[in-house]
Amino acid sequence: MKAAVFREPHKPLTIEDVEIDNPKSHEVLVRTAAVGVCHSDLHYIDGFYPTPVPAVLGHESAGIVEKVGSEVTYVKPGDHVITCLSVFCGHCEFCTTGRPYSCGNPETARSDEEPSRLMQNGAEMHQFYDLSSLAEQMLIHEHALVKIREDMPLDRAALIGCAVTTGFGAVINTASIEVGSTVCVIGCGGVGLSAVNGAAIAGAGRIIAVDINGTKLNIAKHFGATDVVDASQCDPVEAVKELTGGGVEYSFEALGLKKTSEQAFQMLRRSGVATIIGMVPVGEMLEIHGADLLGDKRLQGSDMGSNRFRVDMPRYVDFYLNGKLKLDDMISRRIALEDINEAFDEMKRGEIARSVVVFE
């Protein structure tokens, strides 16, 4: 099969032939239909996060089941599925206390004694996030996917695999915003727009979108933002405080930058909660004023929107098909696998919300 291979940081991905194994007992072979180009992959390409190489990148995907292992009963060939990097074992402390997104049980991956799921010329090809979606096929554990209704377009379903689950989930699961609350979202890429859309569906009274790109801010209005702030023209913290008379109850940072993460905390009102969704580079330290904590302000992280993806994702599909989730407008363009490096370059320049790789 063709796959986008990552060999070293700061170098383009290469399209290569990679061998994929047959599914073992609890594994599923999926024909990839679409993959969203996500900023998380770019962090690894840029060297901000380490990962074993060579590896096939990609994790925001949807497809159709081709084969299943002998013990798989949840899906069958022909089923439409969305993948998720929050692979869960189902019986560890985190899974049994309602936090499957924190499961770190390695039993969902193959052991060192077993052949690798992906190979090339007899050597191991590492699997990224237990998925490796930037390929024509995926071989994954059955607990890395969710079955969805077949009337859901798979190119839009792919976005639910990460951007929507991460952004929307941070709003309703991690922060649990209240109806009528004031919200600010910093960064209007795929994750940020999902947070804006999620806040609107959850009933936020005021939603302020912050970005430096005017086009993205206009899209944010369509997704539910009541106000927008162009951070290239002003101090976004002061602008948000002025708009709200002192600060927001909930802020969400969707860029993964030190400066904007600190701004998310600085723009809170008393008893406000700042949720950092973006992947701040390894080694970066966030600084806040300790005295602000006396005002009951909180700074927290969010792991993939604190998801229970087999419950959450079918609901997001229903939201889309009912016209509430604006996935059509999140896709800036559809591309072939061979155009993946150009898509990452566009993402670096901040030009687009989301590109989606579509397979024939």
Label the pairing between strands 2-6 and 55-56: antiparallel
User: Among candidates 156, 31, 135, which has minimal Cα distance to 126?
Assistant: 135
Domain residue limits, the chain: 2-161+306-358, 176-301
One-letter amino acid of 101 = Y
- The structure tokens listed for 256 are 């993964």
Beta bridge partners of 228: 209
Contact 213, 350 (CB under 8 A): yes
**What's the predicted TM-score (pTM) here?**
0.95
For residue 106, what pLDDT band results from cuts at 50, 70 and 90? confident
Question: Above 90 in pLDDT, residue 135?
Answer: yes
Question: Above 80 in pLDDT, residue 119?
Answer: yes
For residue 353, what pLDDT band results from cuts at 50, 70 and 90? confident
> What does the alpha-carbon distance between residue 332 and residue 216 come to, in Å, rounded to a whole number?
11
Which numeric CATH code is attached to 176-301?
3.40.50.720
- DSSP state, residue 135: B
pLDDT number for residue 349: 85
The correct answer on CATH 3.90.180.10 for the domain covering 2-161+306-358 is: yes
Q: What percent of the chain has pLDDT over 90?
A: 94
Q: What percent of the chain has pLDDT over 70?
A: 100
> What does the alpha-carbon distance between residue 52 and residue 270 come to, in Å, rounded to a whole number?
43
> What does the alpha-carbon distance between residue 259 and residue 265 come to, in Å, rounded to a whole number?
10
> What does the alpha-carbon distance between residue 130 and residue 219 come to, in Å, rounded to a whole number?
33
> What does the alpha-carbon distance between residue 128 and residue 4 come to, in Å, rounded to a whole number?
11
The set of catalytic residues is 38, 40, 43, 59, 162
**Averaged pLDDT, 95-121:** 93
Query: Coil, strand, or helix at residue 310?
Result: helix
**Mean pLDDT in the chain?**
96
For residue 104, what pLDDT band results from cuts at 50, 70 and 90? confident
pLDDT digits (tens, 9 = 90+) for 165-201: 999 999 999 999 999 999 999 999 999 999 999 999 9
